[in-house]
Amino acid sequence: MAEEVILLDFSPSPFAMKARIALREKGVHFDLREEEILSNKSPLLLQMNPVHKKIPVLIHNGKPVCESNIIVQYIDETWGPESPLLPSDPYERACARFWADYVDKKIFPAGQAAWLSTGEDQEAAKKEFIKGFKVMEGELGDKAYFGGERFGFLDVSLIPWFYAVETLNGCSIEEECPKLVGWAKRCMQRESVAKSLPDQHKVYDLMSEFRKKLQAQ
């Protein structure tokens, strides 16, 4: 039986970007279904992720996997063992998971706050967002990728947020994080990443609409 792989997606979402990058790193053919998450969630999304009702959802032969870091680990454990995303050493694996969790817990909320707030609150949130990237700059050090010479799990987790910085927040981090800028250029040269990043103008327009909806609630 041929495999059926569907990704319930929303192209500007950094969480969904992670899943797209991981699938493409592994050379998995998948059916990408764009959700109207702002206005009209599909019955399939509500059926496949009844708990959180959020994208991304990976549906593999009818079975759903939810939450982006869990999806990326599932992809890594299911396809392409010859090109693993997570390190084979349990300690290095724990470190990769720790920093991916840090990105979700610190960088995402600060970025969201920087996008949704105004005035002094926005300035404070931008500082917090940049602070998160500086921590990651220290973690990267002089390595090509976070795991060393190979593109891996933590690169997949961070690159969508890095891409979002300048698009959404008008923060320039060239001066603050020169090593991360070099790392991001390396990542974006990969076909898996380049194909997964949406048009920045489209992101800006969609996220502006998203902000209006959230602020109106």
| Contacting residues toward a second copy, per CB under 8 A | 51, 60, 63, 65-67, 70-71, 73-74, 77-78, 90-91, 93-94, 97-98, 101-102, 135
Smallest gap from residue 202 Cβ to a second copy (A): 30
Question: Of the two residues 1 and 216, which places its CB atom closer to a second copy in the complex?
Answer: 1
Rounded-to-integer distance, Cα 135 and Cα 177, Å: 9
The neighbour count for residue 62, using CB atoms within 10 Å, is 8
Question: Of the two residues 74 and 145, which places its CB atom closer to a second copy in the complex?
Answer: 74
Smallest gap from residue 16 Cβ to a second copy (A): 17
Question: Of the two residues 70 and 214, which places its CB atom closer to a second copy in the complex?
Answer: 70
The neighbour count for residue 134, using CB atoms within 10 Å, is 13
Smallest gap from residue 71 Cβ to a second copy (A): 8
Smallest gap from residue 5 Cβ to a second copy (A): 13
The neighbour count for residue 173, using CB atoms within 10 Å, is 19
Bridge partners of 66, per DSSP, are: 57
In this structure, are residues 92 and 83 in contact, taking their beta carbons and an 8 Å threshold? no
Give the rounded distance of the alpha carbon of 1 from its chain centre: 31
Question: Of the two residues 50 and 182, which places its CB atom closer to a second copy in the complex?
Answer: 50
